[in-house]
Amino acid sequence: MKAAVFHKPGSPLTIEDVGISKPGPREVLVRTVAVGMCHSDLHIVDGMLPYPGPLVLGHEAAGIVEAVGSDVRTVKPGDHVVTCLSVYCGHCAHCLTGQMTLCESPETQRGAKEESRLSYLQKPIPQFVNLSSYAEQMLVHEHALVAIRRDMPLDRAALIGCAVTTGAGAAINTSGVRPGDTVAVIGCGGIGLSAINGAALAGAGRIIAIDMVDSKLELSKTFGATDVINPKNGDPVQQVLELTKGGVQHAIECIGLKQTAEQAFAMLTRGGSATIVGVIKPGIKLELDPLALLQGQRRIQGSRMGSNRFPVDIPMLVDFYMQGRLKLDEMISQRIKLEQINEGFDELRRGELARSVIVFDQ
């Protein structure tokens, strides 16, 4: 199959032939239809997150099931599916207590003595976050995907596999936004826009979008933002405090910078929570006001993939889209071919677009 191969940081990805195995007992072979381009992949391409090559990146995908293993019970050939990197075993302590995104069971991957799912130049290569979706096909554990209704457009469904599940989930699941709450979202890329949409779905009374790009702020209003702030016009924390007369109950950081993470905590009202979604460079330490933490009972927390229960959440989000309540069409800035993937990464670096989606020929 054709795939975009990452070799080393700073070098463009190359379109090459990559070998793919046949489904094992609990594995599913999927023909990739669409895959979104995410900053998590860019962090590896640019060397911020160290990862050895060669490697096939990509993790935000939708496709059609081509074949299933003998023990697969959740999907069948012909099903339309969305993948999710938070693959789960289903019976560890995390899974049984509803924290499926924290599952670390190795049984969802092939063992060291088994044939690798992917190979390059006839040598085994690792699979990126259980998916490796910048390719014409994916071979995954059955708990790395979920079937969806067939009238859902797959180029839009792909976004639900990461950006939407992560952003909307950060608001609904991790932050626990309730009707009437006040929310600030820092960063209006794909994940930030999804967090805004998720806060709106949860019934937030006021949603403040914060970004340096005016066009993204304007777009955020379509997703549910009631107020917008551009840090170019002054300290965003001070702007939020003045706008809300004391701070927000929930701040969701979707960029991944020390400064913005600290700002998220600083703009909280008493009892508020700051949820960090953006990937901060390893080794960076955050500085927080201890009095605000203790006396104000403010909290700071991480959110992995929106604390999702994706077999339930993804079909629900698909329904929200079909009802017109989840905005996906507006999030797609451009559709490109796999051969244009390096151009897509250039757009990610510029930070001017919401989401680029790679669409495979059908």
- DSSP code string of 250-265: EEEE-S--HHHHHHHH
Task: Please tell me the predicted confidence (pLDDT) of residue 319.
Answer: 98
Q: Residue 291: what pLDDT?
A: 86
State how far the Cα of 295 lies from the Cα of 321, in Å rounded to an integer.
41
Beta bridge partners of 208: 184, 227
- The dihedral over CA atoms of 154, 158, 160, 163, expressed in degrees to the nearest 10, equals -150
Check 39, 59, 80, 141 and give the catalytic one.
59
CATH 3.40.50.720 region(s) of the chain? Answer: 176-302
Verify whether residue 80 is a known catalytic residue: no
Class at the top of the CATH hierarchy for domain 2-161+307-359: alpha beta
Q: For domain 176-302, give its CATH number from 2.60.40.10, 3.40.50.1820, 3.40.50.10210, 3.40.50.720.
A: 3.40.50.720
Distance of alpha carbon 64 from alpha carbon 76, whole angstroms: 10
Q: What is the pLDDT of residue 292?
A: 85
The phi and psi torsions of 277 (rounded to 5 degrees) equal -105, -35
Q: Is residue 250 among the annotated active site residues? A: no
Torsion of CA 288, 292, 294, 297, to 10 degrees: -110
User: Does the pLDDT value for residue 362 go beyond 70?
Assistant: no
The residue from 162, 254, 273, 307 that is catalytic is 162
Residue 59 among the catalytic residues:
yes
Question: What residue ranges of the chain are covered by domains with CATH 3.90.180.10?
Answer: 2-161+307-359
Q: Quick: pLDDT tens for 145-158.
A: 999 999 999 999 99
pLDDT band at 350 (very low <50, low <70, confident <90, very high): confident
CB 219 within 8 A of CB 196: no
Query: Cβ(315)–Cβ(149) under 8 Å?
Result: yes
- Of the listed 39, 43, 143, 250, which one is catalytic? 43
- Catalytic residue flag (residue 94): no
- Told to judge if 40 belongs to the known catalytic residues of this protein, a careful annotator would answer yes
Instruction: State pLDDT tens for residues 167-179.
Output: 999 999 999 999 9
- CA distance linking residue 168 with residue 36, whole number of Å: 16
39, 40, 84, 141: which is the annotated catalytic residue?
40
pTM as predicted? 0.93
Q: Is residue 299 predicted with pLDDT exceeding 80?
A: yes
